[in-house]
Structure 1
Amino acid sequence: MVDAFDPARLTQARRLAELTKKDLAAQIGVTPAAVGQYETGVARPRPDLIPQLADVLSVPQTFFLRGRPTCRLDASMAHFRSLRSTPKGQREKALSYAEQVWELAFALERHVQLPVVDLPGFAGGEVHPGSELSPEPEQAARELRKRWHLGTGPVTHLVRRMEARGIVIALPQEADASARTVDAFSTRAARPVAVLTPNRADDVYRHRFTAAHELGHLVLHSDATGDRAQEREADAFAAEFLTPRESILPLLPRRMDLAQLSDLRRIWGVSVHSLLFRCRELGLVSDATTSRAYQRLRALEDQPGFCPEPISGFPGEQPVLLRQGFELASETTGLTIPKLARILAWKPERVRELLGYRDQRPVLRLVSNVGAAVQRHTAEPASVRRGPWPAANANHLSEAID
């Protein structure tokens, strides 16, 4: 075990556990400098420390073995919407989370063929000069719509469309609490990955704009600088991609009408706030009118037509690529979660989390009164189900999610 110890795996597990080197050192009885040496490969942990590391970091001992495909990410390879306000530890955990999402996708591709990546300039994790879209955000959005045959109308099922083009979409669950707090991020490493954090999933309109924003990063920015200019460009791409100027301009009110914007919200799948900004951006209303409209909008936030709508009511905006990939592999090759866990050297519950399955076991809760010994709560059914599409031909998943 010690001879095959992989320093990068220790770093990944420590970041996922949100522990500093000092924290980990204190729990296994060594110095922080020793942990640093383990992670750089200068020294190897003693054999008796391997079980302790596995226990503290909640991974199998085999997790630390070399030989499995990896995707090492750093902050320069991912676009964080809130880079400056995101603590380093949370960024590192989020990056390690994205690494594991990529590893899961890679493992599944041994059993099924996931959709081919269809992004301009993208091939095998490298950007090929001359084949990208226009560097201008609005023009790039129009070019991508044309490439994906989206026409000029509303983009339905945006998340599923991105998955059908080979982009892996992840939505962290409770086990990745800090990854949930990172606003959103994406990376082009090896296979494009976009993490759409649940702090926006309570409103499908914000969720869709975030997805389009990350799509903008993927097609516009090969390097992540974290500056505001890149964020503004991604926002401009998202606005044009979801509401093309030539299509939305004739529909927007010339005099401020929030009710009309609410109707457009439902048709185009963007928030009233975004449509209001679009009105000002396209020169239909003044800054003063926009400011007053925002004030009125805040007073209407809990009213029908203006209140948030969670993505739970919109299946097309919920990621399914990894889960359906596993289900197809399960049907055609007999892949199971325990087998997949052994391939990845993860705990089975970690595999379930990243596949998007909730813990299916009944929950035992003790109550205080003697008359009732326990309360039993049963979670969502445990059976593995197919998504809302028919099975794909052979071991191809593209047709199932497009």
Structure 2
Amino acid sequence: MENVVATNLTRARMLRGLTMEELANMIDYSKQAIGHWESGVRTPDSKTLLAIAQALELELDYFYNDCNVQFTMHNVNYREGMLLTKNQRAEIENLTSTMLNDYLELEAIAKEFIDFQNPLEDILINNASDAEKAAKQLRKRWKLGDGPIYNISNLLEKRGIRIIKIDFGFNYNHEGLSGWAENRKVPVIVLNGRQQDISRVRFTILHELGHLLLVMSETLDLDTIEKLCDAFAGAVLLPSEILLQEFGKNRTAISMPELRRIKELYGISIAAIMVRARVTNLITYEAYTKWKNYDFPDRDYGQFNGTEEPQKFLQMLYRCLSERKIGFDKAAKLARRDESEFRQVSRQQLEF
């Protein structure tokens, strides 16, 4: 389906959470007619398209133009105290908007749009205790149990959160950002493409998830919000019940082999494990301070054997290519690859 009208019609319908039948009823047409228009088999006439535009509260031009998705980043202070300049912020937002436009176009072609639902919208966050409660509710409502979460990126992509990896064009040490597109219908997490310890990346993804899901009290300042997102990320990765099972109560110290085991099993950094032990009162403040005064580079102690590469975009791309919904030229354009190179790689990927 390489028809602009078909793609934009599909995208507009799915962004509003409508089935083909629901849209058909709104304009007094059949579901089959909607299917033909969205597949590009037929094209609605201008009168019908105007009726669709009015039903979806859109301008008629929307269906004829390449959509320009606008991504807006959260206005936050970053964990490492590093603020983006106005130009750097604009650069990231523009690059993300461009990539997200291709992502949503491919979703429309594949008809794999997932309507995002916030599982924590009923919880108001005022303090760290609320963040802990929200983390427990997330695991409960998403049926995650108390065990390790192997692939967080895959988990979030299946629930409608778009994850995009970008190589920033400037020196920037922060691992991730987040924001919204399409009038807050599409949540987006942007990952820094530079090489990172996987445990740190996992924490970053959940920190940004906190920005997307947590309903923060209006009385909180930006620094407090950042700390609460950190608390939420740690609690999702390593629930307090697991801490107690693994370490017991009233510890005066925790050995490095114990910490390494948890890091390798749960994909959470040793530093984050110790913070969790402190905030849950498993160890005293004095014990935590004593540990912190030692120099223990996290990268030297254990590795989580997993991956956090976003996969949904490429999965949709190869599926559409194998089902001939798009050609190699369109697929290469969406993948931002040279067509001849992409053909060669794709043949290897699509071989049975």
Query: TM range, normalised to the smaller chain?
Result: 0.5 to 0.7
Q: Deviations over 1:96-154 (max 9, x none)?
A: 12212321122112211225244327xxxxxxxx9544533222211111121101121
Which residue does 1:103 correspond to in 2? 101
Pairwise CA distance, 1:302: 5.8
Partners in 2 of 1:214 and 1:220 — Cα distance?
10
Which residue does 1:383 correspond to in 2? 346
Q: Secondary structure at the match of 2:157?
A: helix
Which residue does 1:15 correspond to in 2? none
Partners in 2 of 1:264 and 1:230 — Cα distance?
27
Which residue does 2:193 correspond to in 1? 198
Same amino acid, percent of matched pairs = 23
Q: Deviations over 1:208-260 (max 9, x none)?
A: 00011111111114899981121112111111111111222231362221220
Partners in 2 of 1:80 and 1:101 — Cα distance?
24
| Matching residue's letter, 2:300 | Q
| Matching residue's letter, 1:227 | L
Q: 1:114 aligns with which of 103, 112, 122?
A: 112
Partners in 1 of 2:268 and 2:293 — Cα distance?
19
- Whether the 8 Å contact between 2:328 and 2:339 is mirrored in structure 1 is no
Which residue does 1:330 correspond to in 2? 321
For residues 156-175 of structure 1, what are the structure 2 equivalents within 5 Å? 156-173=150-167
Partners in 2 of 1:108 and 1:205 — Cα distance?
30
Change (3 A) 1:359 1:157: farther
TM-score by length of 1: 0.60
- Whether the 8 Å contact between 2:77 and 2:83 is mirrored in structure 1 is no
2:227 is the counterpart of 1:232: yes
TM-score by length of 2: 0.67
- Whether the 8 Å contact between 2:154 and 2:311 is mirrored in structure 1 is yes
- Whether the 8 Å contact between 2:199 and 2:269 is mirrored in structure 1 is yes
For residues 257-272 of structure 1, what are the structure 2 equivalents within 5 Å? 257-272=255-270
Change (3 A) 1:114 1:334: closer
Q: 2:85 aligns with which of 84, 87, 104?
A: 87
Change (3 A) 1:97 1:221: farther
Q: Secondary structure at the match of 1:111?
A: helix
Q: Deviations over 1:171-209 (max 9, x none)?
A: 114xx433965542111333111012134x420100000
- Whether the 8 Å contact between 1:69 and 1:103 is mirrored in structure 2 is yes
Which residue does 2:271 correspond to in 1? 273
Unaligned runs of 5+ in 2: 1-63
Which residue does 2:180 correspond to in 1? 188
For residues 3-402 of structure 1, what are the structure 2 equivalents within 5 Å? 67-75=65-73, 77=74, 81=78, 85-114=83-112, 116-120=114-118, 131-135=121-125, 136-173=130-167, 176-178=168-170, 181-189=173-181, 190-199=185-194, 201-221=195-215, 227-252=222-247, 254=251, 255-298=253-296, 301=298, 303-305=300-302, 314-315=306-307, 317-336=308-327, 338-339=329-330, 348=333, 351-353=334-336, 382-383=345-346
Q: Secondary structure at the match of 1:171?
A: strand
Q: Greater helix share, 1 or 2?
A: 2
Unaligned runs of 5+ in 1: 1-65, 122-129, 342-347, 362-378, 392-402
Which 4+ residue blocks in structure 1 deviate beyond 6 angstroms? 222-226, 357-360
- Whether the 8 Å contact between 1:154 and 1:268 is mirrored in structure 2 is yes
Change (3 A) 1:110 1:314: same
Partners in 1 of 2:229 and 2:178 — Cα distance?
12
Q: Secondary structure at the match of 2:88?
A: helix
Q: Deviations over 1:1-27 (max 9, x none)?
A: xxxxxxxxxxxxxxxxxxxxxxxxxxx
Pairwise CA distance, 1:339: 2.4
- Whether the 8 Å contact between 1:169 and 1:195 is mirrored in structure 2 is yes
Change (3 A) 1:382 1:229: same
RMSD (Å), alpha carbons: 3.4
